[in-house]
Structure 1
Amino acid sequence: MVRPSGIAHRGYAGVAPENSVAGAVHAASHDATTMIEIDVQPAACGTPVVIHDTTLTGRRDGRPLTDATGVVWETSLETLTASHILGTKETVPTLQGLLEALPETVGVNIELKNPGCDPTELRVGEALNADTRADRQQVWQPFVERVVADCEAFDGEVLFSTFCEGALAAARACTPRYGAAVLIWDDLEAGLELARRYDCEAIHPPRNVIAGTALVDTAYAGFPAGEPDIDILEAAHEAGRAVNVWTVETWQQAAQLEAAGVDGLIAEYPGVLEWDRDDTR
């Protein structure tokens, strides 16, 4: 059996400051790591920066996400790149700066998180009609062009992923050079339709929709508990698409997903990928 690829969620956010240069470099040092997953949004000037939340004041297990305040895309690049992540010395990086720090032996999965608009306008997880699709693409296009430009000097593999059709449309319009993946939220059929519409190389479903695993018994990521109506793994593989599952937090989850035949594990910890399933201890 071919083992799944290891994709470091926000640079293995379970063991390092998320979306940081140091976290990404540390994640890249693990033999099990194939790609580093990061999130990008624009600073006020349009420069792509690596951060997940809409605002700088989110929290992680009681810790403030940064020591700054405000909405990311309304904040100057100078302020963003001086903002410390989770009380550490690490600061919010630009996409260009993070890519420059990474070895080209590891790939980067860049989640197109937000182009600089109200989150209610993103149309997360939806397959849109033609008019709405064109409108959403226009909103995303300038930012995605900046992201693509920052990737040009990086010779490692780049995969764009997103929950938003507008971002997929913009990425495909920009360049055929990089792969694309649909992130699925609460609608498997919409995810499959978007994968077909943009001929995506991969699909990224949440861990609880992989049929035949015990993980389906837990509600997660917009999906209720219960066996899914669609076997997303079978459907994706029949179409020649990879299936990279998020977010994997334990070795038990990893073992189930590996046994099911997924292609990649988007994981919080490097250790979930390193347990030897032949060990009977």
Structure 2
Amino acid sequence: MRCIAHRGFAGLYPENTLTAVRQAADRADMIEVDVRQCRSGDPVVIHDETVDRVTDSTGVVADISLATLQSMDVLETGEGVPSLEAVLRAVPDDVGLNLELKEPGLVERVLELLEEFDTEILLSSFDVETLATARDLDPSVDRALIVDSSSEAAIERAASLDCTAIHPHWRLVDFALLERAHRSDLAVNVWPINDPERATEYEKMGVDGVIVDEPAACR
């Protein structure tokens, strides 16, 4: 079962920062980060639509320049909001990267950037159109549908999009879901798991990966 560091182990390190990515790389099989676009269209790594929660500034990410984002202080680390390129450069070759695309219109720029790197990539999104665009532009890049409700329909949807994985909320996961997903050749990566005992239970059930805030959940 793969250990996927949610926002770079956000329970332990400042989320979606280069520090988190570098630290998580020592203990995770894959690192999950959130991707948006700034004013220039460059992909940047931040979860929220605004910078208000995680920086010393305010404003909508899409309205702010890359240089300004990089000059902000994220969670009192002294680090700015990183570009996706910087994150890709920080990830070791033997650690995968799960890019959650937070908004439409990102796919083409992200795929162009990925051409420069050999990192194992999994593109994930709640948005079906985003995943469909990614498939049409470059079917060789793996994709995952994130699910927080109606899992049975979501499995069919993910399979129809030629996804390689489905990311259901832990409340949706049972043996029936796992059987249906695996029958459709979909890996199942569950989120968010922060209890080591629950992670062990899911491993025994046959879950393929857990997306966690704390590395202790991966034992």
TM-score of the superposed pair, with normalisation by structure 1: 0.75
- 1:244: Cα distance to partner? 0.3
**Alignment partner of 1:69 is 2:69:** no
Q: Indicate if the aligned counterparts of 1:236 and 1:242 stay in contact, CA closer than 8 A.
A: yes
**Residues 28-177 of structure 1 correspond to what in structure 2 (within 5 A)?**
28-30=25-27, 33-58=28-53, 65-115=54-104, 140=105, 143-177=106-140
The 4+ residue runs of structure 1 with deviation greater than 6 A are: none
- Which residue of structure 1 lines up, in the alignment, with residue 200 of structure 2? 255
From 189, 193, 196, the counterpart of 2:156? 193
From the CA coordinates, give the structure whose radius of gyration is larger.
1
Kindly provide the amino acid, as one letter, of the partner of residue 82 in structure 1: S
**Alignment partner of 1:6 is 2:3:** yes
**Alignment partner of 1:236 is 2:154:** no
- 1:16: Cα distance to partner? 0.4
Equivalent pairs, count: 219
- CA deviation digits over 1:121-173, x for unaligned, max 9? xxxxxxxxxxxxxxxxxxx3xx2110111112221210000000111111111
Distance in 1 between the 2:79 and 2:201 partners?
34
Distance in 1 between the 2:213 and 2:101 partners?
19
Kindly provide the amino acid, as one letter, of the partner of residue 81 in structure 2: V
Specify every segment of 5 or more residues in structure 1 that has no aligned partner in the other structure, as ranges. Answer: 59-64, 116-139, 213-230, 275-281
Kindly provide the amino acid, as one letter, of the partner of residue 37 in structure 2: P
Q: Indicate if the aligned counterparts of 2:159 and 2:186 stay in contact, CA closer than 8 A.
A: no
Distance in 2 between the 1:241 and 1:169 partners?
16
Q: Indicate if the aligned counterparts of 2:88 and 2:117 stay in contact, CA closer than 8 A.
A: yes
Q: Give RMSD over aligned pairs.
A: 1.2
Distance in 2 between the 1:243 and 1:9 partners?
15
Kindly provide the amino acid, as one letter, of the partner of residue 235 in structure 1: R
Q: Indicate if the aligned counterparts of 1:159 and 1:180 stay in contact, CA closer than 8 A.
A: yes
**Alignment partner of 1:267 is 2:205:** no
Q: Indicate if the aligned counterparts of 1:251 and 1:271 stay in contact, CA closer than 8 A.
A: yes
